[in-house]
Amino acid sequence: MPLSFQQRHALKQRFYPTADDVTVGVMRGALERHLQPGARVLDAGSSGGTWVLKRYAAEMGLVVGVDVALPQGLDDAHWAEPVVGDLATLPFAGASFDAILCYNVIEHLVDPAAAFAEFARLLRPGGALIFKTPAFCSPVILLSRALPLSAHRLFKGPLGVEAADVFPTHYRCNTRPKLHRALSAAGLHRELLTAVDQTYDYLYFSQVPFVLGLLYSRLLDRPGLSRFRNAIIGVYIKP
């Protein structure tokens, strides 16, 4: 069985006490800066609502989740207003949203530039696009790229991820230079673009791999090793 949240927390405290500060803390900081009370938020790529937004649900005015399909069964786990749509051609008026969250979605986009242009259209002036996506040059991601989709589904099954929820990846805009060029071309201005490492989050099916992942991610927290980190977090603003 995968490690429980409590087991993972205890191992983090022992082997990498600042893990959440340098990973989850960056994302939460971005959300807390830009999710003002009553904010209208587009959760791009998650029709049921991404888990990182749920803690702010009571403060937001509206959360719309857009994905290529509706979530499996609408229950308490799916709390956003679901809409089926293509991120490159969304059915909303311009300047409809105060913030857009794109959490582990950019790697799946066939045409990231078209989606970024659509995000820029939908944001109100001063609104923020907040995203997290895998970093293409990370050894972990390079290894995963060599595996077929069936292997990804097999690997994620023990972690509680349904096969239908594992989508093909393209990695067409998954380095910091490519992201900055594409987002700038869409008319968005950089507030934050940084790399973090959460290799351990792929390895919580057992204690020994999880601990090794923690030690590896802790090593990559050192200056000069950011190129090997496996995720990119960014915040871009519509001027």
Is residue 54 a contact partner of residue 76, using CB atoms and an 8 Å limit? Answer: no
pTM of the model: 0.90
In contact, 186 and 119? CB cutoff 8 Å: yes
Helices 176-185 and 112-122, packing angle to 10 deg: 50
pLDDT digits (tens, 9 = 90+) for 77-129: 556 788 888 999 999 999 999 999 999 999 999 999 999 999 999 999 999 99
Residue 130 β-bridge partners? 101, 235
Answer whether 53's CB lies under 8 Å from 28's CB.
Answer: no
Mean pLDDT on 44-70: 84
Least confident of 27-36, 65-74, 94-103, 106-115: 65-74
Return the pLDDT at 51. Answer: 85
Confidence of residue 69 (pLDDT cuts 50, 70, 90): confident
Tokens of 206: 């057992």
* Domains located in the chain, CATH noted: 5-237 (3.40.50.150)
